[in-house]
Chains A and B, each alone.
Chain A
């Protein structure tokens, strides 16, 4: 079975602090895809990143960076110098053959960035 665990339910940080959101996944597939989505207070779901299981390179996009480690089945997301606009719920998701390629989402981490 496929599973995504986001153990951090809610995190509060002060603006300009760095914050890491954890994502641990379970799958028996060798080929799979991992995703992060952001859901701001307005409610829409915004795509942040897609990573396939064969690409373990870390990725940086502005203040955002992602650390993919197959050895620990983790795909963590770090926001550097957080801003109030980063306040949102962040979801990690997994898709692969053993899950019939449906997208399984974690329960989300609510990030509050305080001014």
Chain B
């Protein structure tokens, strides 16, 4: 099993640009999570899907952020327009329900 796959590993963009982060969960896992990690705020849950349906998006910071899970094998997190304060490491994780989380390697986002 290849594990949770995130792309890109690194993204550098300019303020105002659209950013799309991608995640392929482990096959058979029905829960998918997007987290953001910064020094100031630690690991923040942005949104959580169960069986491709968004269950809790209370952590999404504002309307500039959106996430989709069109099928069981793919999810995207989009930021439009991006701002420097969005710079962080974004992790995707998947799990069978209530089991341990399997994390991807993360996307390091830098917004200049």
Contacts and interface: CB of A to CB of B under 8 A. Distances in A.
A107 B37 CA distance: 10
B103 A103 contact: no
Contacts of A47: 100-102
B55 to A, nearest CB: 6
A102 B56 contact: yes
B33 A35 contact: no
A103 B33 contact: yes
A33 interface: yes
Contact of A45 (B55, B56, B91): B91
Contacts of B55: 100-102
Contact of B105 (A37, A43, A102, A108): A43
A95 B43 CA distance: 14
B1 interface: no
Interface string B31-58: 1010100000011010010100001100
B45 A102 contact: yes
Given A102-B55, A103-B33, A105-B43, A50 B48 contact: no
Interface residues of A, number: 20
B43 A101 contact: no
Interface in A98-115: 100-108
Interface string B86-104: 0001010100011111110
Interface of B: 31, 33, 35, 42-43, 45, 48, 50, 55-56, 89, 91, 93, 97-103, 105-106
13 contacts: A33-B98, A35-B101, A45-B91, A47-B100, A47-B101, A95-B98, A100-B56, A101-B48, A101-B55, A102-B33, A102-B48, A104-B45, A105-B43
Rank and list the top 6 A-B pairs by shortest CB-CB distance, nearest first: A45-B103, A105-B43, A107-B42, A47-B100, A100-B56, A102-B48
